[in-house]
Amino acid sequence: MADNQRRNRYVLPCAASLLAALLAGATPMAAQGTVSGRVSLTERAGEETTDIGNTIIYLVRNGSASVRLPSADATIAMNGRAFVPRVRVVPVGSKVAFPNQDPFQHNIFSTSTGARFDLGLYASGRSRDVTFRRAGVVPVYCNIHPRMTSFVVAVPTPYYVQAGEDGRWSIPNVPAGDYTVHIWHERATAVERPLTVVASGNPGFDVTLDARGFRFAQHRNKFGREYDRSGRDRY
C-alpha cells in the first residue's frame, strides 16, 4: 500500500504537467462572429421595391488562400413559365438541378463566358443539372419562353446569404479578420465594401443599392438572335 501511494504521488503530478503542456501548445479556435445588416434599393420616382429578397451578400477574406467550400447543391424549378426561385446562391463546385414542373417542354441554357451550357429540350417531370465550377453571376434562360430568366450566383466562399423579404440578412460563424463584402442585385450596380470582422460580430452593416438605371431588355435566344415567334429557332 505504501509503495502504491508513493507511486501515485509521482504519476498524478506528471499527468497534470503533461495536460498543461498540451493545452499550452494547442492552437486556439479562431474567434467567430455574426455579420448582419440590411440592404435596400433606391428606385426611380414612383416605383416600389418588390424583389429585395433577390439580393445576394457574401464575404471574401482578404489575402486568404483557397478555402474548402461546402457542398450545397440546389434546385431551380420551371413552373408557370417562370424559374422558381429566380435567384440561387451556391458555393463554387455546386450542382443546380432544373426540374421541369410545367406540362410542356423547356430548353434551359446560358451563354455566360466560362459557364456556357445548353440542357436541350426536355418534358414535364424530367430534370437536368449543371455544375458551376467558376465564381460569377450566371444568367439562365429558356430558349422557348423569352421572358424566363434566372440567376445562379456561384461564390468562392462559405460565408454567403440571400436577403430576406425585408432586406435583412445575417451570416453567422465568420472568423475574425479582414474581408471584402460583396452585394449583388440583378437591377443594381454591384457593391464591394471592406469590413473587419471582430469576435463579437458586426451588426448594422446596412447598404443601399442604386436601381434607378435599370431598364428591362429581353434576352436573345441561344443562337444569339431575337426570338422568332414562328418557333423556328426554338430547338
Write the pLDDT tens digit of every residue in 25-75: 433 456 899 999 999 999 999 999 999 999 999 999 998 667 788 889 999
pLDDT tens digit sequence for 152-180 = 999 999 999 999 999 999 999 999 999 99
CATH number of residue 83's parent domain:
2.60.40.420
Alpha helices in the chain (DSSP H): 2-25
Specify if 209 maps to a domain: yes
pLDDT tens digit sequence for 115-125 = 999 999 999 99
**Looking at 157, 184, 200, which one is the last position of a domain?**
157
- Looking at the structure of the chain, the number of domains it has is 2
| Cell numbers describing residue 204 | 448594422
Question: Domain of 211?
Answer: 29-63+159-216
Cβ pair 84, 74 in contact under 8 A: no
Cα separation, 40 vs 216, in Å, equals: 20
Q: Which residues, 6+ apart, have CB-to-CB distance to 119 below 8 Å?
A: 98, 107, 108, 109, 128, 130
Three-class SS state of 13: helix
In this structure, are 140 and 104 located in the same domain?
A: yes
Q: Please give the model's pTM, rounded to 2 decimal places.
A: 0.84
Helices (H) and strands (E) in the chain — how many of each? Answer: 1, 17
In this structure, are 101 and 150 located in the same domain?
A: yes
| Cell numbers describing residue 72 | 450545397
